[in-house]
Amino acid sequence: MKTTLRIPGDENWLMKVNSNAEFRLASRWTEVTFVISIDEVSYAYRISSSSISPADLPAEEDPILLQGSKRAWHRFLLDPPPPHHNHVLAMDRRSADFSIVSGRHRLIQNLRTLTIALDLMRGCDLLM
Amino acid sequence: MTSIEPIVGRYMTTQIAGRSNRIYFEESGAGKDILCLHTAGADARQYRHFQTDPEIISRFRVVTFDLPWHGKSLPPSDWWNEEYLLSAELYVETVMSVIRALSLDKPIVIGCSMGGSVVLELARAHADVLGGVIGFSGASHVEGRFQDWSLATDVNSNVSVPSWTYPLMAPQSPLEARKDVWWIYAQGGPGVYRGDTYFYSAGLDLRGREYEIDTARCPVYLFTGEYDYACSADETLATIAAIPGAKGGKMKDIGHFPIAENYPLCREYLLPALDELGRRDTP
């Protein structure tokens, strides 16, 4: 698996998340790193005390790893996204080219803040 | 400015499968009886828009209730010594007990999610005491919703359970309504959502038995939103195809909680079904 630190064009997305009122409230006690993997390329982000920022790939054995094809992620980013592509749980359940590979328990623990952060990816011109 | 809605809530105590249960129920409107079933881990607040729809309550008496363990219906005594797992038998008996206790006259039963599936068993086993069933987000069998994580000691189920069900709704549905659904789920008791999904995914399987449902005695309508990934619209369509005479279909731009997440859109599918069922009683 090749590694890259940041999704190209993620500045707008990170700014949007960090200024979102619900995210800031909901993530006050959140400490979680998650990995977005698009085809063979992985990007890590960390949410810590109401802030999201790029991160190094986590060393833990069971990171939250959201792995999908470029096609799957492109459909997720559409506004509105098509059916069964509006959330990683939907894609994991119904898309053959997307999987929550690991970290499912941590994902569920942090589902509210991760949902907010991922939903805010839409409309940010992320170059996936 | 104060406005008071036409919903009146009361409590009754009735026997369900040999146990005394104190049930909270609500009524609005007058006319043909309708009984509404809420979703797993939630309560009858999901029907608030339906219960106050002027066109509906001018023709129908809408009754909703909170299942035992949900909302304002406390669990039966000794609940702290048992695991809550909703079986098909108990769920059906609970619904029938409410119908008998309130003397509902051949009610139309509307259910969503687990309620949208149990209506099939109600139609199969109690056709002659019902006026028809309308199920949202249900099918002969729904896989994969019964999971243990909500009881893990390191999971805040007040937040994780509503966040788990939130993505089942369409992004087009009004934000305020989706947040209402989230809030209702945030107030479920520990293990209750899990126990209900035991019925939804493990307790009911009518595959291969759909022919036992006689839609001439009890009409069946099933609808599922295209964004629903718990019970997909295709799974509901397959169930409709397997039940001779069943009607319904896929709903566009809506998810798993049609009547709560986008009532105006849901109404476009619900009202024609109710109109047809209402005409059955007209000589």
The model's pLDDT over B32-91, given as tens digits with 9 standing for 90+, comes to 999 999 999 999 999 999 999 999 999 999 999 999 999 999 999 999 999 999 999 999
Q: Establish if B31 touches chain A: CB-CB under 8 angstroms.
A: no
Position B278 pLDDT exceeds 80: yes
Which candidate in B137, B148, B159, B163 is best for mutational testing of the A interface (most A CBs within 10 A)?
Answer: B163
Query: For the residues B12-23, what does the mean pLDDT come to?
Result: 97
CB–CB of A80 and B149 under 8 A? no
Tabulate helix, strand, coil % of chain B (nearest 5). 40, 20, 40
> Does A77 touch chain B if contact means CB atoms closer than 8 Å?
no
pTM above 0.95, yes or no: yes
- Total residues found in chain B within this entry: 283
Q: How large is the angle between the packed helices B175-186 and B157-165, nearest 10 degrees?
A: 140
Chain B contact for A28 (CB, 8 A cutoff): no
From chain B, pick out residues whose CB is under 8 angstroms from the CB of A94. 229, 232
Q: How far is CA B63 from CA B31, B95, B98, in A?
A: 11, 12, 10
Label residue A127 by pLDDT band (50, 70, 90): confident
CB contact under 8 A, A115 and B172: no
Of B162, B167, B226, the CB nearest to A87: B167
Summarize chain A as % helix, strand, coil (round to 5). Answer: 35, 25, 40
Q: What is the mean pLDDT of residues A31-46?
A: 95
pLDDT digits (tens, 9 = 90+) for B136-150: 999 999 998 899 999
Is the N-terminal amide bond of B75 cis, ω within 30° of 0? no
Instruction: Give the chain B residue whose CA is nearest to the CA of A85.
Output: B227
Residue B282 pLDDT grade (very low, low, confident, very high; cuts 50, 70, 90): low
Q: Does B183 touch chain A (CB under 8 A)?
A: no
Minimal Cβ distance to A112: which of B149, B152, B163: B163
Distance CA A24, CA A106 (A): 19
pLDDT tops 80 at residue A121: yes
Give the residue on A whose Cα is nearest the Cα of B171.
A80
Q: Tell me: the pLDDT tens digits for A7-30?
A: 999 999 999 999 999 999 999 999
Our CA-based measurement puts residue B57 at a distance from the nearest CA of chain A, in whole angstroms, of 33
Asked if B160 has any chain A CB less than 8 Å from its own CB, the reply is: yes
- Judged against a pLDDT cut of 70, whether residue A3 lies above it is answered with no
Is the ipTM here above 0.90? yes
So what's the pLDDT on residue B130? 98
A89 → closest Cβ in B149, B159, B167:
B167
- Pick from B21, B121, B144: which is nearest to B71 by CA? B21
pLDDT tens per residue, range A56-87: 988 888 899 999 999 999 999 999 999 999 99
Contact A93 B149 (CB under 8 A): no
Q: Is the pLDDT of residue A1 over 80?
A: no
* A98 CB-contact burial (10 Å; exposed 0-12 / middle 13-18 / buried 19+): buried
* Per-residue pLDDT band at A2 (split at 50, 70, 90): very low
Q: Which amino acid is located at B174 in the chain?
A: P
* Cβ contact B170–A86 (<8 Å): yes
pLDDT tens digit sequence for B226-263: 999 999 999 999 999 999 999 999 999 999 999 999 99
The whole-angstrom distance between A7's CA and the closest CA on chain B is 24
Q: Are A87 and B167 in contact (CB under 8 A)?
A: yes
- Residue B13: what pLDDT? 98
pLDDT per residue as tens digits for the range B98-126: 999 999 999 999 999 999 999 999 999 99
Q: In B109-166, which residue ranges form alpha helices assigned H by DSSP?
A: 114-125, 157-165
Average pLDDT, chain A: 94
pLDDT of residue A4 exceeding 70, the answer is no
Chain B: give the shortest CA distance to residue A26, in Å: 10
